[in-house]
Structure formats: structure tokens, C-alpha cells
Amino acid sequence: MSPTYQCSIRLLFLQYVSAFSALGLLSMIIGIGTDLVCISRIRRLIGRFPDRIGTKIFTPAELMAGQNRPDPAAALAGRFAAKEAVLKALGTGWSGGARFIEIEITTGPDRRPILLLHGKTAQIARARGIEWWHISIAHEGDMALAVAVGESMVH
């Protein structure tokens, strides 16, 4: 490939990037997180610390959504894994100021998981430039898996 042809391709690419960015159609991944949780571990946690579950880990809405599922522990394990994945995508882990209770996983009308951030955790996400999230939760056997992707528009 000739240097002139390479330069033309680069210029064309930069023009497309600039146009998509100006239209607000270009996004950038800021963080990706994933987590895998044993459902039986969450089942034991619910049995041992029922009060702590509702004040430190899950919101009332998450607990109610879990109770409406055939296997509440599996539903909560998926949400637990999603919360862990969000912490990893934020880059904070448990010690970086984000709080589990401030990460809320709800279910949209199309049954997709929706992430709501509250308090300091929402501030951390905004400071990192994350404008929207994609959450995916899966279950297989005794495992729950979640992936969280935080994105921002390229300005």
C-alpha cells in the first residue's frame, strides 16, 4: 500500500470520526466489569444475614423483585454479580468509595436489566465520564454471571 493511499485512508477515517462525533453518534467504552457468583453462596448469605441483605447489599425494590421470581436466591445472585461488575467497570472495587446499596439493578419492561446509580457511586460514575450503562446477567446451574459496560459519548 502506497504512503499516499495510506494517508488518504487515514484522512477519510478522521473525517468520518469527526462527522459521527459532531452528530453525537460516537461512543467510547470507559469501563468493563464482569463477575461470577455461586447462587448457593447468596442463598446462605440470605439465610445468615437477612437484615444486612436489605440495608447493605440490596435495595427494597431489588428484594421485592427477587421474591417475585421462582428462585429468589438466583435472581439476587445475578444482581449481586451485576453490582460487582459495576464496581469493576468503575475501577473502584469495594474500597474506592462506591457502595453496594447505591448500585440498583431493576428490570425494564422488556425484561432487560437496568442500572440505577445513587449517591456517591453516581458521582464517581459521572466523574469518570460514564453517561450510560449496558448490563447483562446470565444463570447456569449454581452460577450467576454479569457483565457491566460503562460508555460515554465522544465529544
CATH number, domain with residue 82:
3.90.470.20
Structural domain count of the chain: 1
Is 3 part of a structural domain of the chain? no
Q: What is the per-residue pLDDT across 47-97, written as a single tens digit (0 to 9) for each?
A: 888 777 777 899 999 988 888 888 989 999 999 999 999 999 999 877 778
Distance CA 51, CA 58 (A): 10
Is 143 part of a structural domain of the chain? yes
155 is catalytic: no
Sheet holding 27-38, edge to edge: 27-38, 143-153, 132-140
Query: What is the C-alpha R_g of the chain?
Result: 20
Q: Is the pLDDT of residue 16 over 70?
A: no
- Considering the candidates 83, 118, 139, 155, report the single residue annotated as catalytic: 139
Range of 146's domain? 27-153
139 is catalytic: yes
Q: Is the pLDDT of residue 127 over 60?
A: yes
Q: Do 74 and 39 contact (CB within 8 A), yes or no?
A: yes
Is 10 part of a structural domain of the chain? no
Please count the other Cβ atoms lying within 10 Å of the Cβ belonging to residue 98.
23
Is 15 part of a structural domain of the chain? no
Is 145 part of a structural domain of the chain? yes
Q: Which of 5-14, 95-104, 120-129 has the lowest mean pLDDT?
A: 5-14
Q: Is the pLDDT of residue 35 over 90?
A: yes
What predicted TM-score, i.e. pTM, was given to this entire model? 0.82
Is 7 part of a structural domain of the chain? no
What residues does 32 pair with on adjacent strands? 149
H or E segment to which residue 149 belongs: strand 143-153
Q: To the nearest whole percent, how much of the chain has pLDDT over 90?
A: 57
Is 75 part of a structural domain of the chain? yes
- Considering the candidates 83, 88, 118, 120, report the single residue annotated as catalytic: 88
Is 121 part of a structural domain of the chain? yes
